[in-house]
Structure 1
Amino acid sequence: MRPTPSPFIYPDTATTRAGIEAVSQKLVGGSVAILGLGGTGSYILDQLAKTSADAIHLIDGDVMQPHNAFRSPGAASLEDVGRNLPKVEYFARIYGRMHAGIVTHATHLAPDNLALLDAADFVFLCIDSVEARAFLVPALEDLGLPFIDAGVGLSIVDDRLMGLVRVTTSTPAMRAHVHDRDRIPMQGGDLEIYRSNIQIADMNALAAALAVMRWKRLRGFYLDLEGEYHATYAVDGNCILNEDHRGAAR
Structure 2
Amino acid sequence: MSEKLINHNPDLKKLRDSGADMEIRGDFLILHGVPYVTSQGTIAHAALVTDLQQNGDTVPPPRSHQVWFTGDYPCDKNGNPIEAIRHSSNNQPLCDGIVAKHHFSCKPKGGYPDYYEKMTRYADIISHPARALDDRLTPYPHKPIRATDEESIFHYPDTASSRYGITGLSEKCSMNKVVIVGLGGTGSYILDLIAKTPIREIHLIDGDRFSQHNAFRAPGAPSLEELEKMPPKVAYYASRYGKMHRGITPHAVYLDDETLRLLDGADFVFLCVDKPAVRKLAFAHLIAQGIPFIDTGMGLEYIEEDTCLIGDCRATLCTPAQHDHLARRVSTADTAADDIYDSNIQVADMNMLNAAFAVMKWKKYCGFYQDIYKEHNTTYSINSHHVTRDETTLKAIK
Superposition TM-score, scaled by structure 2 size:
0.59
- Paired AA for residue 29 in structure 1: M
2:169 is aligned with 1:169: no
Instruction: For 2:322 and 2:263, locate their aligned partners in 1 and report how far apart those are by CA, in whole Å.
Output: 20
Residues in 1 aligned to 2:345 and 2:375: alpha-carbon distance in whole angstroms: 26
Residue matched to 1:231: 378
What corresponds to 2:62 in structure 1? none
Q: CA deviation at 1:173?
A: 0.5
Does structure 2 conserve the Cα–Cα contact (< 8 Å) formed by 1:134 and 1:187? Answer: no
| Alignment match of 1:83 (pick from 226, 229, 246) | 229
SS in 2 for 1:226: coil
Whether the 8 Å contact between 2:213 and 2:344 is mirrored in structure 1 is no
Instruction: State the secondary structure of the residue aligned to 2:390.
Output: strand
Look up the SS of the partner of 1:44 in the other structure. Answer: helix
Other structure's SS at 1:42 match: helix
Is the CA contact (8 Å cut-off) linking 2:180 and 2:202 kept in structure 1? yes
Alignment of 1:28 with 2:183, yes or no, is no
CA displacement at 1:199 relative to structure 2: 4.9
Identify which of 359, 365, 390 aligns with 1:243.
Answer: 390
User: In the aligned structure 2, how far is the partner of 1:178 from the partner of 1:154?
Assistant: 21
SS in 2 for 1:164: strand
1:176 maps to a residue whose letter is D
- 2:365 counterpart residue number: 218
Residues matched between the structures, number? 246
Query: In 1, are the aligned partners of 2:177 and 2:268 still within 8 Å (CA)?
Result: yes
Residue identity opposite 2:320 in structure 1 = P
Aligned equivalent of 2:206: 60
Unaligned runs of 5+ in 1: none
SS in 1 for 2:322: coil
Structure 2: distance between partners of 1:147 and 1:208: 13
Superposed CA deviations along residues 86-127 of structure 1, whole A, max 9, x for unmatched, are: 000000000000000001100011112222112311000001
RMSD: 1.9
Task: In structure 2, list runs of 5 or more residues that go unmatched.
Answer: 5-148
**4+ residue runs of structure 1 moved beyond 6 angstroms?**
none
Where does 1:120-135 land on structure 2 (aligned, <5 Å)? 120-135=266-281
How far, CA to CA, are the matches of 2:167 and 2:269 in structure 1?
Answer: 25
Would you say the 8 A contact 2:260–2:282 is kept in 1? no
Q: CA deviation at 1:235?
A: 0.5
**Aligned positions of 1:86-165 closer than 5 A:** 86-157=232-303, 158-165=306-313
SS in 2 for 1:245: coil
Q: 1:92–1:146: structure 2 CA closer, same or farther, 3 Å change rule?
A: same
Give the distance between the partners of 2:166 and 2:177, measured in 1 at CA: 22
Identity, in percent, stands at 48
Aligned partner (choices 209, 232, 243) of residue 356 of structure 2: 209
Distance across 1 between alignment mates of 2:334 and 2:253: 24
Q: Distance in 2 between matches of 1:197 and 1:166?
A: 18
Shifted more, 17-26 versus 38-47: the winner is: 17-26
Q: Is the alpha carbon distance of 1:89 and 1:184 closer, same or farther for their aligned partners in structure 2, counting shifts above 3 Å?
A: same
User: In the TM superposition, what whole-angstrom CA distance separates every residue of 1:124-170 from its partner, at most 9, and x where no partner exists?
Assistant: 00011112112221122122111001122111112111110111111
Tell me which amino acid in the other structure corresponds to 1:211.
A
The equivalent of 2:80 in structure 1 is none
Name whichever of 134-143 and 96-105 sits farther off: 134-143
- Asked if 1:39 corresponds to 2:149, the answer is no
Bigger Cα displacement from structure 2, 139-148 vs 205-214:
139-148
Q: Which has the higher Rg, Structure 1 or Structure 2?
A: 2
Structure number with the higher helix fraction is 1
Partners of 1:230 and 1:199 in 2: how far apart? 25
